[in-house]
Structure formats: C-alpha cells, structure tokens
Structure 1
C-alpha cells in the first residue's frame, strides 16, 4: 500500500504511522503545501493521512497555501480515497465536508480517555476497537459533525472527538500517531505557552507513559488496518 501524508510542520514527526509503514512494507511519501504547490497525483497513493498543526482552518491570510491544500483534499474525497485526518487534519475534513470548526470550551493537552460513541449501537467501524482508551491530546479547537457523518468517540472535555464519513473518511481530534519523541518535541516548542485548565496536564504527567504509548500504537495499527482493507 502507498501512504501519502500531508504535513503542516517540521516537528510533525510521523511516529506510529512510520512504524506501521515499516511493519506492513508500505511506501510512505509526504507533501508540505507550505513549501510546494505541486500536489501528488491521486493515483500515486492508496491512503491519505492529514497531520496536525498549530494553524486554524480559516487562517488564509497567514497561510494562503491552505486553499490549495483544501482543494487537493476535496479532490481526494471525490476520488473515493480512504483518508485519515488527525487533529488539524480532522478539522480540515470537517470544514471541507461543510461543518463548523471553532474554539472548544476546554483546551485538552495530555493523556485523557476517549469513549466509543453509541453504546450497544456503536458504529460498525468501532468493532475490534477498545470501548475506552487513554490517548494523547493537544488542541484547543473542535468541530461540529458534518451532515452524514457518524460520531465515533467522545471525551469529557470535548464532545466530538472523532467521526467517520462515507465509510472511508476518518477524523480523529486526538493524536494516535504520537511516540515519546513527538510528545517531547511538542513540549519543547509550545511548553512555555501551555495554559492551565481542567484538561491540561503537567509536563511530568505527559512523558514516560509507556503503557499509554503501547496502547496508542496498537490503536493506530488497528485504525490503519481498517482503512487499508
């Protein structure tokens, strides 16, 4: 399988995505629209992954390339490509699919649980995934569900943590791609600006969480397997 990744920052290391690609012998390529206006050919990849970033989905003035990126993502959606959006990537998918993106009531930064949505009638996509898992968060924004989307996860601090659209487009507000290196890079770059809040952990609580990291890697592998099949 050929995986193509859209990145929004040099610190957006691929973490468990790269581990998955190596484990499954997938080809992995990436594009940064803030550096190029030449998107990949749609037939050059089987799965598109849109990574996170610190910008907002409406920040066109500061990031004029964002319109080109959105146009490409829309083309990939219309071409029927499986797509995974993470954090900013999830917000971009929500926006492109016609939903609103806005500041969440709470900032979430650190390890907090998300719960599968729907109880006994949970969506088919959630079969084989844990009903609850502690995952890493690093966001202040959220999104409404696009029309036709099915909610997948929720948390105490953010109602819409994930959705699936058309059976092949998955948006995750949290970060299943993180490894220890990724977490440390986030803290190093943004740590001085970290706010306090009900769902903001101390730095010491974010690092060294091997049990959570192992579960996160397994979760990401399950998600990618579902999109691969």
Structure 2
C-alpha cells in the first residue's frame, strides 16, 4: 500500500481521529490537520490524497453561526470531484451529503450511545457494502440526518435512523455513526456532555456509554476494513 497524504478536519478540540490514527501510522501515511475550531485555514485539494471530515456538535444548516461550513462543503465537493478519497464521520457524513446536493436536517430524535446498526439490503451495490455482514453495536451521537445523495448507495440503518452511511463510488464513504471511537474518545464525550444528557430509549447516560466500551473492538475491525478499501480504491 503506497503512503498517502491524509488531511483531516477537526471541528471541536475533544474529538480526534480515534482508531483512524493508529491505522494511518501503521501504514506509514502522513497525517495533517485543520483545526476549524481554532480558525485555521482550509487546504486546497492538491494538498492531500485523502480528506477525513470528523464530527462536531454544530449543524450543516448553521453556517450563519459557523462561517467555515460553506467553505468546508465546497472543499468536500471539490475533493470528491477530483477523485480524492473522502471519509466523513457523523457531522462529516452530513457535510458530505450536503456537498453531493442532499438535504440535511434535524431528525426529530437523538441517537446517543451504543445502538445496533444493520446492513441495508442495497449495500451490496457498493464496494464497501459487504464489510458489514450483520447487526453490530456501535457508538452514536447525532440528532440530525440527511437524504441519500443521488448516485450514492445506502450502507446501513438503525432502528430510528434510516441513513447510517453511504458509499459514493469507491473513494467516498460517509458514516453517521462513530466506528473510530476508542475508549478515550467515548470517555471524552461522556465527560463533556454526559451531565447535560436526559437518558431515554435512544439516549444513554454517561455511565451506560462508559459501560459499553467493550463494543469498540468490533467497530474498529469494521473501520479497518473500510479504511483498507478506501486506501486501495
């Protein structure tokens, strides 16, 4: 596998790459970052081979409060059009959907904590589709969703969220859930927001989140498979 220049976009200081970082270092890929929360400037598509767009608490439709969102969507669209590899997670997936012309909006029900996803029947039409072979418990933290972009293949769904991920060709992958979350990342989110959560059927308490960290390993294996396929694409 040739070494790739991977650039990632960070929206909040407490959300890092999680399991993506050791995978990248193991394969000797170069990592660089734009910290949007610190006002850093976005790169141009010729500066990277692979763009990774991480999560954050803001909404795609909140460009008036977060001026970088419009430029970020334009960069994602340009990267996809240029044939760059693009991976979006949570907010990153929503930004990818917007860059591909789909609507992003509040879902009406939050999904926060450890909940199952299942493969979508049509997922076999994507190069990423056969990696998820059955139900898998993964970490979620979202209250927004998106329509499936034209030309994309839906990969997974959960009980309350139809759009849990899509593939767009062989080099663009959007994931609404968080397979990159390692125990430290789960703890960081639980500590940052846990006291403000109101536990419900689809919202876990901070204690439930911390108790579910054993699920990280299986999600990491799925993520590694998808990362390998993106690198080879």
Normalised by the size of structure 1, how large is the TM-score?
A: 0.93
- Mean alpha-carbon deviation: is it higher for 187-196 or for 168-177? 187-196
**8 Å contact 2:34–2:40 — kept in the other structure?**
no
Q: Deviation digits for residues 116-157 of structure 1, max 9, x if unmatched?
A: 111795644222433221110011111110111110000002
Q: How far off its partner does 1:106 sit? A: 2.1
Determine the C-alpha separation between the residues in 1 that align with 2:122 and 2:70. 38
Instruction: Give the counterpart of 1:110 among 105, 110, 113.
Output: 113
**8 Å contact 1:2–1:45 — kept in the other structure?**
yes
Distance 1:26 1:120, change over 3 A: closer
Q: Deviation digits for residues 152-175 of structure 1, max 9, x if unmatched?
A: 000002111111113321110000
Determine the C-alpha separation between the residues in 2 that align with 1:140 and 1:185. 19
Determine the C-alpha separation between the residues in 2 that align with 1:41 and 1:119. 34
Determine the C-alpha separation between the residues in 1 that align with 2:199 and 2:40. 38
- Aligned partner of 1:10 in structure 2 is 13
Determine the C-alpha separation between the residues in 1 that align with 2:52 and 2:148. 19
- Aligned partner of 1:192 in structure 2 is 195
Determine the C-alpha separation between the residues in 2 that align with 1:184 and 1:160. 26
1:60 aligns with 2:63: yes
Distance 1:11 1:101, change over 3 A: same
1:43 counterpart SS class = helix
Q: Any gaps of 5 or more consecutive residues in structure 1?
A: none
Q: Any gaps of 5 or more consecutive residues in structure 2?
A: none
Distance 1:197 1:122, change over 3 A: farther
- Aligned partner of 1:154 in structure 2 is 157
Equivalent residue runs for 1:30-109 within 5 Å? 30-36=33-39, 38-109=41-112
**8 Å contact 2:9–2:35 — kept in the other structure?**
yes
Normalised by the size of structure 2, how large is the TM-score?
A: 0.91
Aligned alpha-carbon RMSD (Å): 1.8
Distance 1:210 1:147, change over 3 A: same
- Aligned partner of 1:215 in structure 2 is 218
- Aligned partner of 2:22 in structure 1 is 19
Determine the C-alpha separation between the residues in 1 that align with 2:105 and 2:125. 26
The number of residues matched between the two structures is: 229
